[in-house]
């Protein structure tokens, strides 16, 4: 069963077709698994083999095309009728002489969808250059356009049902962060803490379980805090070191991420000073995140505080967040950074993350929020500070 009511998917498809008309597309081939899920409900760990959802102006329902063995998964999790879920033969998987998109192109041609203008997502994880070439060769009568982010932009504003699911994810994020703080002690192996965090993320609450987040829990410690994306090791946590925790709760593939930092011992003055700037700057950014503000204005609110506090940060301070699959919970649309003039709308959801990484230390504090009339409304209720354990 799909996670939302069929009417929710139908509305998403209607808006997708609206944008297709505006872009002059007859057919849209969606290979991003988050977009496939968004349009049909299909949810499985099958994106390691090529697959797609096809939306055609000429047809009411999309097609969901997956590897043959995954067709039953499509029937069970999407709202689509059985004749709109197709499985390609297994011999196309990881073969040197053929590609699943050869089969998909031939199928689209048979359906009369091989003409006109076809949009493909040309900058997503699970649609390769060879997939694009296979479609172009198999459909020589069609013209192709890059339709990357067409569906992602529709995802930017969340419905009430989506916001409810993200609130559930927030409950899981809070519990998981509390578990992490309780577990980290000098002498405890990093992997043992990661295991406890993961278990908390997936157990969820008594009322609802957790889905797998699109990132593994990140818990860089000591000099590891100088960079954000290293994963855990077997080494123990040490006294008088900082640890950064970045993790999410996930529910029906919707994420609520949270970053916090922890110090075992007495934090050095440099970290404390940066913490103060980060907290003030984060609050300034959250206050600025009102409908009508641009992404770069939100970032500027942080930047003003940071400049006053002598803190520099080259990288963006946030991004759209919500529905996604590994390896990213971001939605790849707007970023909170100079030059991004996207205008915020009510019920857009973002992750504002102040990550400061120096040569041998770092700190991160973040909030996942929805855009509301008076500024950002964070999903989580969790103390916003550098945690200290002595």
Site for a copy of itself in 335-364 (CB under 8 A): 335, 337, 339, 355, 357, 359
Of the candidates 23, 106, 163, 203, which one interacts with a copy of itself according to CB under 8 A?
203
Pick the closer one to a copy of itself by CB: 145 or 347.
145
Pick the closer one to a copy of itself by CB: 350 or 375.
350
> Given the rule CB under 8 A, which of 107-115, 121-129, 273-281, 375-383 is the region that contacts a copy of itself?
121-129
Q: How far is the CB of 51 from a copy of itself (least distance, A)?
A: 10
Q: How far is the CB of 196 from a copy of itself (least distance, A)?
A: 7
Residue 233 is a binding residue for a copy of itself (CB under 8 A): yes
Query: Which residues, numbered 236-275, are part of the site for a copy of itself (CB under 8 A)?
Result: none
Pick the closer one to a copy of itself by CB: 364 or 375.
364
Q: How far is the CB of 150 from a copy of itself (least distance, A)?
A: 13
In contact, 180 and 196? CB cutoff 8 Å: yes
Query: Which residues, numbered 269-308, are part of the site for a copy of itself (CB under 8 A)?
Result: none
- Where does residue 292 rank: exposed (0-12), middle (13-18), buried (19+ CB within 10 A)? exposed
Q: Which residues contact 117 (CB under 8 A, 6 or more apart)?
A: 24, 25, 26, 27, 142, 143, 144, 145
| 3 state SS for the chain | CCCCCHHHHHHHHHHHHHHHHHHCCCEEEECCHHHHHHHHCCCCCCCCCCCEEEEECCCCCCEEEEEHHHHHHHHHHCCCCHHHEEEECHHHCCCCCCCHHHHHHHHHHHCCCCCEEEEECCCCCCCCHHHHHHHHHHCCCEEEEECCCHHHHHHCECCHHHHHHHHHHHHHHHHHHHHHHHHCCCCCEHHHHHHHHHHHHHHCCCCCCCCCCCCCCECCEHHHHHCCCCCCCCCECCCCEEEEEEEEEEECCEEEEEEEEEEECCCCHHHHHHHHHHHHHHHHHHHHCCCCCEHHHHHHHHHHHHHHHCCCCCCCCEEEECECCCCCCEEEEEECCCCCCCECCCCEEEEEEEEEECCCCEEEEEEEEEEECCEEEECCCCCCCEEEEC
CA–CA–CA angle 59, 61, 63 (5° rounding):
95
Pick the closer one to a copy of itself by CB: 321 or 375.
321
Angle between helical axes of 100-110 and 129-138 (0-180°, round to 10): 30
Residue 185 is a binding residue for a copy of itself (CB under 8 A): no
Of the candidates 106, 111, 117, 125, which one interacts with a copy of itself according to CB under 8 A?
125
Residue 221 is a binding residue for a copy of itself (CB under 8 A): no
Whether omega for the bond prior to residue 327 falls within 30 degrees of 0, making it cis, is: yes
For a copy of itself, what does the binding mask look like between residues 27 and 66, x meaning CB under 8 A? ----------------xxxxxx------------------
Of the candidates 330, 336, 350, 369, which one interacts with a copy of itself according to CB under 8 A?
330
Of the candidates 130, 268, 292, 308, which one interacts with a copy of itself according to CB under 8 A?
130
> Given the rule CB under 8 A, which of 156-164, 210-218, 256-264, 371-379 is the region that contacts a copy of itself?
210-218
Q: How far is the CB of 42 from a copy of itself (least distance, A)?
A: 10
Query: Which residues, numbered 87-116, are part of the site for a copy of itself (CB under 8 A)?
Result: 89-91, 93-96, 99
Pick the closer one to a copy of itself by CB: 74 or 267.
74
Pick the closer one to a copy of itself by CB: 325 or 369.
325
Query: Which residues, numbered 141-170, are part of the site for a copy of itself (CB under 8 A)?
Result: 146, 148-149
Q: How far is the CB of 214 from a copy of itself (least distance, A)?
A: 8
Pick the closer one to a copy of itself by CB: 193 or 262.
193
By CB under 8 A, the count of residues binding a copy of itself is: 87
Of the candidates 58, 164, 178, 230, which one interacts with a copy of itself according to CB under 8 A?
230
Q: How far is the CB of 381 from a copy of itself (least distance, A)?
A: 23
């Amino acid at each position: 069963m799909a996670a939302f009511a069929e009417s929710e998917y139908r509305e998403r498809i209607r808006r997708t077709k609206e944008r297709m008309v505006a872009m002059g597309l007859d057919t849209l081939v969606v290979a991003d698994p988050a977009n496939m899920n968004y349009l049909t409900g299909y949810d499985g760990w099958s994106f390691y083999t090529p697959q797609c959802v096809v939306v055609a102006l000429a047809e009411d329902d999309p097609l969901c095309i997956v590897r043959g063995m995954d067709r039953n998964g499509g029937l069970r999790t999407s709202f689509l009728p059985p004749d709109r879920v197709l499985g390609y033969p297994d011999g196309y998987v990881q073969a040197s002489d053929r590609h699943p998109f050869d089969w998909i192109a031939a199928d689209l041609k048979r359906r009369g969808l091989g003409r006109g203008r076809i949009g493909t997502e040309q900058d997503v994880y699970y649609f390769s250059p060879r997939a694009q070439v296979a479609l172009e060769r198999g459909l020589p009568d069609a013209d192709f356009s890059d339709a990357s982010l067409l569906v992602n932009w529709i995802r930017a504003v969340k419905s009430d049902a989506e916001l409810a699911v993200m609130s559930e994810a927030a409950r899981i994020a809070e519990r998981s962060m509390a578990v992490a703080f309780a577990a980290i002690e000098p002498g405890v192996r990093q992997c043992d803490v990661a295991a406890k965090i993961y278990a908390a993320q997936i157990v969820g609450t008594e009322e609802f379980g957790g889905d797998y987040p699109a990132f593994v829990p990140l818990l860089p410690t000591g000099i590891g805090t100088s960079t954000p994306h290293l994963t855990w090791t077997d080494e123990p946590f040490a006294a008088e070191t900082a640890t950064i925790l970045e993790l999410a709760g996930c529910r029906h593939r919707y994420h609520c991420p949270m970053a916090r930092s922890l110090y075992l011992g007495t934090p050095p003055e440099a970290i404390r000073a940066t913490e103060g700037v980060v907290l003030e700057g984060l609050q300034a950014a959250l206050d600025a995140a009102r409908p009508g503000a641009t992404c770069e204005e939100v970032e500027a609110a942080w930047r003003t505080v940071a400049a006053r506090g002598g803190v520099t940060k080259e990288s963006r301070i946030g991004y759209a967040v919500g529905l996604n699959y590994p390896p990213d919970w971001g939605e790849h649309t707007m970023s909170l950074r100079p030059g991004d003039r996207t205008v915020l709308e009510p019920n857009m959801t973002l992750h504002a993350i102040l990550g400061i990484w120096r040569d041998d230390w770092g700190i991160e504090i973040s909030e996942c929020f929805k855009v509301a009339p008076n500024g950002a409304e964070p999903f989580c209720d969790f103390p916003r500070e550098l945690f200290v354990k002595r």
